[in-house]
A and B are shown apart, each in its own frame.
Chain A
Amino acid sequence: MPISQLSYEMAHLIGAAVLMAGFQLLYQRRLFAVLNTFAFQAVALAAAAAWQAHIQNAPHLYITAGLALVFKAMIVPFALHWLVEKLGIHRTVETAMSIGWTMMAGVALVALSILLVLPVTVNAAALTRESLALAMSVVLLGLLMMITRHNAVTQVVGFMALENGLILAAVSAKGMPLVVEISIAFSVLVAMTLFGIFFFRIRERFDTLDLNDLETYRGDRQ
């Protein structure tokens, strides 16, 4: 089915919204704001999946959209929110690299993924190419978030954002089986649960969630 100009623009816009949310995640200085931004990114992702379901005429993608909306936009942010409150975690984001530099690194990563994906996928449809470039940027931004934040909660959010990028890539490529997406969604939930338990345990033992402090407890470091 030929894709109309409007569908293309819309897909592009929603994808860009996911990417923008990725940048916002890097920019936030407060934990709750990070969680809200993450919820927004998940909503945008759900919208992207739904739009893809519409234009590709692939109803199973609606399920993906629903999963993203329920799990990632609601359960995960709420759970993290609850954890932060319950544990009384310090609510500012400790960065390992100044926010300005992080943003610039993010821009460079986006440029890299565009440079990389566009020539590689010359033969693919324009829609897929753009979405893949966006998805890859989101993945790289998630990774960047994981390495530039000290706090364990922000690292988890970085990991989830990375995973959002993967879903975005999956929905924009035709023919990804539904079962894969469902299993990814559930595995994220399991990961979330595990992280939560670990937070409790770590907190109980060490009274902090700052990874810098945790490292001093490792037996192999003097």
Chain B
Amino acid sequence: MLIAAALSALLALAVLGVLAGGEMWRHRVVYFCCALASLALLIGGLKHLGQTPGTGPAIVLPIGLPWMAAHFRLDNLSALFMVIVNLGTAAASVYGIGYCSHLPEPRRVTPFFPLFLFGMNAVLIADDAFMFLVSWEFMSLASWLLVLADHKNPENRSAAMVYLMMAAFGTFCLLTCFGLLAGPEGAYSFPAMRGGVLEPMTGFLVVLLAVLGAGSKAGLVPLHAWLPLAHPAAPSHVSALMSGVMTKVALYGLIRILFDLHGHVAWGWGAALMVIGGITAVMGVLYAILQDDLKKLLAYSTVENIGVVVIGLGLALAFKDSGEKTLAALALVAGLYHMLNHAIFKTLLFLSAGAVITATGERDLGKLGGLLKRMPWTGAATLVGAAAISALPPLNGFVSEWLIFQSLFKGPGLPHWTMKFGVPVVGAMLALAAALAATCFVRAYGIAFLGRPRSAAAAAAHRLPASMRWTMAMLAVLCIVLGAIPVTVTDALSGVVQPLTGVHFAVSADLGWPWLSPVSSTRGSYSGTVLVMTGLSLFVISILLVHGFGTTKVRRADAWDCGHAEDIPETQYTGQSFAQPLRRVFCSSLFAARETVDMPEPGDQSPARLTVRVIDPIWTYLYLGILRVVDAIADRVNRMQFLTVRRYLLMMFATLVFMLLVVAARQQK
């Protein structure tokens, strides 16, 4: 009831957004109401999660196709994703109250923002394939319009074009996937699909199409190409939603099909997903390290995190098919936990990137620096977010990555030799990605917030509206809280995965609250709660000691300046110089990274130049390759426009005879 009311309110808000016109306070009201609706949906989801495991009542509405009513239902999985989604949307809406006045054209954003929220939530509660796809397209098209918000920039227009193509491709795959699941009888409701029995070949195709369709939305390599183009192009609070939340909706689709509707996915697909996830994680973070654009860096980091989650999902599939239900539940819990975490810290980081861009007008790392002094709130919140995404304890990112590693360590126990050898490899990739992610965010945070300003714009950063600061602070607190009470979260998640894996599994069973001991108490255990309490008490004790027994004299001295006292900001480390060692180690073969030094002749006073050339192999070879092939085919086909009448007749005749032959051949069987 609450959910239905909130969803209708979002639709009404879209109309209000159109009517808002040029008055800024009306835009603020729309965002405020969006925040309220998101909170209502959040509460609805939490309330459902608090109930005993089970599915909510089915709601049938007489809309949609005339012979097919629209089915909606809230079960534990959708309720969890509703929580994940609406945490992000609530934050983005509150942020939007202050942020909308800084947008170049708020009128192009406000009407579509509630529609985008509506689409994402409707995907979660859809209970038949038709409603699912309609909502999915709703979400895609609304976000596409938001990407186009700043349409005067030609880069944004081409990003939107690529996004539209990929969205169409993804939906086409999902459409075919649901068609196969529904079978020849056309049973499009999810309960009917669950009962269906799939032939091996059909089952294979269903998984393939689901991975292609949902994976292209989530940003799995090599279908990620649109993501780092489109996500940064949108206004920052929308980027936060696209990166932090919409990718989760895509993964919801993947989980819904692979774990729920399909039900019997072969372990080979689990292995394939793990490999895809591993490659996605490593490639994503390597791309991220090379970026100088703050928002692009965050978008690529999203690709990495999606890879991490998909490793967990693949592992869960492999365990499930091998009969290891408990371990499957563990891997799935870990994956879901990471999705929840990523939704929070990626939203936080994108919002802070938006804050930086609003305050300075710059998104190039090379022109930022020293922002911590001018924007202490944003700086502190971003530090928490960056630490969380780098998986540092005691923050939330650590818990989920630790859980994924714990389940990976049990992978070699699987009966298949592929998995015995493959799981450690994927584990190594994940470890590499995690370490590189930490590097990436040390670089991003250090360059943007520490040091001295690298441009006049960065030196003149101005204050931000309270709603923007508070949103980031709240998200940072959430990062800490979710890291400090991991057991509470995993207990809630195990209720969600129970229907999907068929077993109730509590991660804390062995040692009890507040210890996480996924495998056994001797193999590894972690308690964020204890860690935070210990850290806090040590902090308090040391403050007491310092203030009680330490000297109160203050000594002032210059900071160490690395041996040269020159006062030019350009002599600082830059983003490029920080990335150089990693670029040389990892990217010289993968991205064909080359450096050329252009040294002027002695006596010539022009500066020396260092040029770095990086080729994105996937874009250059895969996408442009496809483009070339399509172009070549189009050129060939173009000739068909200039044939003679007799040739056209001949073609029709040949087609007719061919069809007749096919029919005749089928008749003979």
Residues of A within 8 A of B (CB): 96, 109, 112-113, 115-116, 119-120, 140, 143-144, 146-147, 150, 211-212, 215, 220-221
Contacts and interface: CB of A to CB of B under 8 A. Distances in A.
Residue among B642, B660, B668 facing the most chain A CB atoms (10 A cut-off): B660
Contacts of B565: none
Interface string B635-668: 0000001101110011001001100110110011
Contact of B650 (A140, A147, A220): A147
A215 B644 contact: yes
A147 B664 contact: no
A96 B646 contact: yes
Residue among A109, A116, A140, A147 facing the most chain B CB atoms (10 A cut-off): A147
Contact of A147 (B641, B649, B660, B661): B649
B653 A144 contact: yes
B94 to A, nearest CB: 61
B637 to A, nearest CB: 16
A119 B667 contact: yes
A143 to B, nearest CB: 5
A140 B667 CA distance: 19
Contacts of A146: 646, 649, 653
Given A143-B656, A144-B653, A116 B645 contact: no
Contact of A109 (B642, B644, B657, B668): B657
B667 A211 contact: no
Given A109-B657, A115-B668, A119-B667, 12 more contacts: A96-B646, A112-B660, A112-B661, A115-B664, A116-B667, A120-B663, A120-B667, A143-B653, A146-B649, A147-B653, A211-B645, A221-B642
Given A109-B657, A143-B656, A147-B653, A116 B646 contact: no
A120 to B, nearest CB: 6
A212 B646 CA distance: 9
A211 B653 CA distance: 18
Interface of B: 641-642, 644-646, 649-650, 653, 656-657, 660-661, 663-664, 667-668
Contacts of A147: 646, 649-650, 653
B644 to A, nearest CB: 5
Given A119-B667, A120-B667, A143 B646 contact: no
A112 B657 CA distance: 8
Given A143-B649, A147-B649, A147-B650, A211 B644 contact: yes
Contacts of B641: 220
Contacts of A143: 649, 653, 656
Closest A-B pairs by Cβ, 8 of them: A119-B667, A116-B664, A147-B650, A115-B664, A147-B649, A215-B644, A143-B653, A147-B653
B346 to A, nearest CB: 54
Nearest to A139: B656
Contact of A112 (B644, B645, B664): B664
A143 B644 CA distance: 16
Given A143-B649, A144-B653, A116 B642 contact: no
A184 to B, nearest CB: 20
Residue among B642, B646, B649 facing the most chain A CB atoms (10 A cut-off): B646
A221 B646 CA distance: 15
A115 B667 contact: yes
Contacts of B664: 112, 115-116, 119
A144 B652 CA distance: 11
A18 to B, nearest CB: 20
Nearest to B645: A211
Contact of B663 (A96, A116, A150, A220): A116
Contact of A113 (B646, B650, B653, B660): B660
Contacts of B646: 96, 146-147, 150, 211
Contacts of A140: 657
B638 to A, nearest CB: 12
A191 B127 CA distance: 56
A35 B667 CA distance: 38
Contacts of A221: 642
B361 to A, nearest CB: 53
A59 to B, nearest CB: 35
A45 B668 CA distance: 31
9 contacts: A96-B646, A112-B657, A112-B661, A119-B664, A147-B646, A147-B649, A150-B646, A211-B644, A215-B644
A146 B641 CA distance: 20
A109 B653 CA distance: 11
B49 to A, nearest CB: 59
Contacts of A116: 660, 663-664, 667
B668 to A, nearest CB: 7
Contacts of B657: 109, 112, 140
Contacts of A211: 644-646
Nearest to B644: A215
Contacts of A120: 663, 667
Given A112-B660, A150-B646, A211-B644, A119 B668 contact: yes
Contacts of B645: 211, 215
